[in-house]
A = this chain, B = another copy of it.
Amino acid sequence: MNTFGQKLTLTTFGESHGVAIGGVLDGFPSGVKIDTDFLQNELDKRRPGRNKFATARNEADKVEIFSGVFEGVSTGTPIGFAIFNQNQKSNDYENLREIFRPGHADYTYFKKYAVRDHRGGGRSSARETAVRVVGGAFAQMMLDEFNITVKSGLLSVGDVKTNEFNWELAKNSEIFSLGNEDAMKELIMKVREEHDSIGACVLSVVSGAPTGLGEGLYDKLDARLAAAMMGVNGVKAIEIGEGINAAYLKGSQNNDQMGINGFYTNHSGGILGGMSNGEDIIVKSYFKPTPSIFKAQKTLNLNAKETEFELRGRHDPCIGVRGSVVATAMIRLVIADFMLLNLSSNIQNIKQIYR
């Protein structure tokens, strides 16, 4: 329900305007060096109030680790952690107690649970993704032992696109842009001034993953990546490798033939039969525009009466920007999980350990 992963599991809790958000990362192997600077640095990338392209809610997002680390090294026991909420302007949300915001989870949560924490979206707030970033950073510390990298950047904002894959730019860009950065920024600022918001596409690439990650038929690597990304707030479409374009191709165009130096092409996006094939793993995630806009909208209230309202509060004009940080985190968690699951795939592996 609120747990992600099979062997490396991240269980999360917390509401946008509650006491704290946090989680338990379980199944993390012992003996991994824990780099708290890296951890905080990853969180800072996602931190609200960081620049004008993110919400003005200003949170320090300082993570406190409660367990599972001893003298700088993981112990194999669960890593409990929390981020205490600070800059909560819950009053901003008092007017939302009685209504369902369009494009948000207000209506569905209420229908399911009959009660709801209306402040800032409660559990469904994008604030929860900070916990995912913590989990992803730990996962990366494990992946570092195997020189596996995961990176994400913006391919498009609205109809402003790029065909560059400028990862150096993305690393230093305030919006993680892979190219055409100025035009992207301009569009974000423009919709913000219009009290509106805009969608975006995020590209993620995994390099260095071993071959054979992915389980059987119902826990395929691509299925898990799709679920991971579709589970991020606002994502409405996922492509692996050639993606939608594959539906327009012939087999002779789409097949990746092999030679002694590996695959000649990578239409598959690094995944064959649900398992990694040693090539770069390529995932594209499409984010809808932030549903929080400051324009008049029609909706229902708790008495099932139609009403028109205008949102107040602080919101990202383009959730894809910070979504790019979350994408990296989720994919790190997926790859690390499959690394652990894969250990028992054949008896030769197992014998190497129980010698």
Contact = CB atoms under 8 A, between A and B. Distances in A.
A343 to B, nearest CB: 4
Nearest to A220: B231
Given A2-B24, A251-B293, 6 more contacts: A2-B77, A20-B66, A76-B113, A233-B273, A251-B290, A340-B344
Main SS of the interface on chain A? mixed
Contact of A75 (B3, B122, B247): B122
Contacts of A106: 273
Interface in A101-155: 102-109, 111-117, 122-124, 128, 142, 145-146
A224 B23 CA distance: 22
A23 B80 CA distance: 8
Contacts of A214: 108
A302 interface: no
B354 A352 contact: no
A199 B349 CA distance: 38
Given A3-B218, A231-B217, A247 B237 contact: yes
Contacts of A247: 156, 158, 199-201, 236-237, 286-288, 320
A7 interface: yes
16 contacts: A11-B11, A13-B68, A21-B67, A21-B80, A31-B115, A70-B122, A75-B115, A100-B258, A111-B212, A113-B212, A194-B250, A199-B249, A222-B230, A259-B298, A339-B354, A340-B344
A113 B124 CA distance: 36
A345 B29 contact: yes
A344 B79 CA distance: 16
Interface string A60-83: 000011111010011111111010
Contacts of A30: 112-115, 345-347
A48 interface: no
A179 interface: no
Interface residues of A, number: 161
Contacts of A65: 19
Contacts of A205: none
B31 A348 contact: yes
A124 to B, nearest CB: 4
Interface string A282-296: 000011111111010
Contacts of A29: 344-347, 349-350
A117 B70 contact: yes
